[in-house]
Every structure is written in structure tokens, then in C-alpha cells.
Amino acid sequence: MSEERKLPAHIAIVMDGNGRWAENRNRPRTLGHQAGLKALRRIVEHCGRRDIPELTIFAFSSENWNRPTNEVNRLMDLFMKALDKEARELQENGVKLNFIGDLSAFSAEMQQSIARAMQQTCENQRMQLNVAVNYGGRWDIAQAARSLAESCERGELKPAEINETALAGRLMLNGHRDPDLFIRTGGEMRISNFLLWQSAYTEFHFSPILWPDFSPEALDAALEDYLSRERRFGRTGKQVRRQAS
């Protein structure tokens, strides 16, 4: 099997460090978010070059509402201005755009822009980009559990029929492969409530690089780290090597 075929089919990224990047330059934190958007473009393009079929990014967590109001407002403004432009570029490059999270917290105008962007790119098949906004891993599991409880209440499902597969079927990334590789930039070593269920057997790579400076070369280094791992999924190394031979 070639190295390229061993590359992750799904990468998840916590894009951390935009604010600190700007503060290190004595600039407003919002400038860091603008630089972070440019970094995202580079990484999406490089994932396409490396034939990575799916990328999920943590753009705005449910906890990010606790940031200073001015920063949140500027973030929403940047998001709105970038959405249509980015959707056009993704469409031109064959990338399907998908948003996950509790979108009801956003304005009607933003929800319409999100729906328009997803519709515009829905036929693309080269690559999928999942954008997590107002998302939290605990929220995701809770809303899935609530959905199962409602099905039981309607008589569509029996409690005894609830298992891991049933719950996974109600999560935001239902039908998607779990991430093979989880990258967090910015030097922090935690997952910050991102894809808790889906990351049970994911390989983790923590980079000290602040997100605006995260380059295709840094992604390649993360991929090399991933390729050096032996993924056992509960089996012994001997079993894995015997199956691969």
C-alpha cells in the first residue's frame, strides 16, 4: 500500500492562536482572525493537493460567545463578508461545504447565507469541508440523546434499541467517517469540546504554531507524524501487522 493511500481520509482541526498572533504584533485580535482565514484557504487547497477527501474545522465554539462582545460582533461581521466569496471559490474548486452546530443562534440573514452556501456547493465531490459553528461536542451528544428520547416518546423506537450506532446516527456528522487525524494549533494540548464522540480512536497532533502561521509544510509535518503511528483499534500490534501483510 502506498503512503498516499495511508493518509487520513478525514482531518479535524482546532484553529487556535488567531488572537495571540495579532497581540504579538500589537494589532487588534480581529486582524488575527482575518489572517486565520487566509491560513484556512492555504490548508484547504493543500488538503486538495494531498487528496484528503474531508476536512472539519472548529470555526466558532458554543463557548466562544463568552468572549468580549466587540470581538464576537467583529467575528460575525467577518464571517458574513467572507461567506459568499469563499463559497464561490469552493464551488470553483469542487469543494462541498457543510455547516454543523446550533445554527438557530445566528441571525436570519446569516442562516440564509449559510443555507445558500451549502446549496451552491452541494453537488461537489472532490472534497468536503465541514465548518463547526456554535458547536460543542457535549451539545452534539445531548441533542442526539434528546432526538432518541423523542423517538421513544412517539413510539418509533424502544429504549432497548438504543445503542452506539443509534446514537451516532443522530450526531451532526452522521454518515461521515470519524476523523483519522485531529490537529490543534497554538500550543494548547486539549480538545476543547470538539467532536468528543467522533474522536474516540482519532490520532492527535498538537502544534505550537499559531494558526495564521500554520502552513502547508506544517500540515505535511502533521501527516508525517500520523503516518508514523500504528493504529490498533484495540488489537495488538502483531495483529495489525499480520492483517496489513
Instruction: Judge whether 130 counts as a catalytic residue.
Output: no
* Cell numbers describing residue 62: 458554543
Instruction: Judge whether 225 counts as a catalytic residue.
Output: no
Nearest to 73 by CA among 112, 29, 8, 132: 29
* CB 136 within 8 Å of CB 61: yes
Q: SS3 of 3, please? A: helix
Among the listed residues 24, 26, 64, 73, the single catalytic one is: 64
Burial class (CB in 10 A: 0-12, 13-18, 19+), 152: middle
In angstroms, what CA-CA distances link 93 with 12, 89, 96, 97, 131?
A: 20, 6, 9, 11, 17
Among the listed residues 16, 18, 130, 180, the single catalytic one is: 16
| Separation of first and last alpha carbons in the chain | 10
In angstroms, what CA-CA distances link 33 with 133, 158, 191?
A: 15, 46, 20
Q: Which residue spans within the chain are E strands per DSSP?
A: 10-14, 54-61, 95-100, 127-135, 181-184, 203-206
Q: SS3 of 30, please? A: helix
Which residues are known to be catalytic?
16, 64
